Structure 1
């Protein structure tokens, strides 16, 4: 089986509201550093000691699509710690009679991948739960944690650069 991970939500909002919420990554996924505003922008999502992902915005089509290339990754809980590197996260946005449909795809996250079960469950929680809530109510359930939010020296050695 080689299908990419995908999940679909329909929200009670306009395509513009959905697009704006998707690009406010801290509001539904967790704290980031960098920018998601334009093609070529780069940002980092980090859960210290567990998960690092560097992204480059590769597509911004207001009210239609957002895509991010994973330029570097470090997943502490699997053998291939850089399994996400080179994959693409994409949000396709379509207006429907009942609101707006968002098809989320993590292209390159496949069922045979070691991270698939944990990562697809996490994406489902964040997209189907937090992002949906954030779009519809303005309040998401992003990842929050206590402690130092910078990479340790050991993490910096193991985590690839964002330059991809």
Structure 2
């Protein structure tokens, strides 16, 4: 059985606030992000030593409910993989479930990528949503 990497959290914010934070990629993912990430068809790129470098296309947006990306080009096995951010209102707030489809325990970068995504999603994106300030990978780690 293949298991894609999934992580998430619940925050005391509205689904629309969570959605807005996800689409502000430079504020939580990497300071090296160039391009746009707020509309279907937008493409953004990033270059970091700490994480893979690549180009990602926004493939789906449902305000307050879902963001979907597809990796068009990367320095590693992310090529052709996809990421989804599923947003749902619950009793304890809004739950965000992030899945990197194609990132499985069989992937060479799995352990490193799990640490990276956990830091990006559970620490940086969570901070952006709850405090207004994310902790993206700094531009200083770019080549």
Return 5+ residue gaps in structure 2 as ranges.
Answer: none
TM-score for both structures, normalised by structure 2: 0.93
After the TM superposition, which parts of structure 1 deviate over 3 Å for at least 4 consecutive aligned residues?
A: none
Deviation at 1:140, TM superposition (A): 1.1
Change (3 A) 1:50 1:11: closer
Deviation at 1:94, TM superposition (A): 0.3
Residue 117 (1) aligns with residue 118 (2): no
Native 8 Å contact 2:51 2:116 kept in 1: no
Question: SS of the counterpart of 1:47?
Answer: coil
> Larger Cα Rg: Structure 1 or Structure 2?
1
* Number of residue pairs matched by the alignment: 142
Q: Matches of 2:84 and 2:43 in 1, distance apart?
A: 15
Q: Matches of 1:146 and 1:57 in 2, distance apart?
A: 26
TM-score for both structures, normalised by structure 1: 0.82
Name the structure 1 match of 2:23.
23
Deviation at 1:49, TM superposition (A): 8.7
Q: Deviations over 1:2-49 (max 9, x none)?
A: 100000210110000000000111111112111011111111021159
Q: Matches of 1:124 and 1:50 in 2, distance apart?
A: 12
Change (3 A) 1:111 1:101: same
Return 5+ residue gaps in structure 1 as ranges.
Answer: 75-81, 152-164
Q: 1:105 aligns with which of 99, 104, 107?
A: 99
Q: Matches of 1:127 and 1:49 in 2, distance apart?
A: 15
Matches within 5 A, 1:71-150: 71-74=72-75, 82-146=76-140
Pick which of 118-127 and 39-48 moved more. 39-48
Residue 53 (1) aligns with residue 47 (2): no
Question: SS of the counterpart of 1:67?
Answer: strand
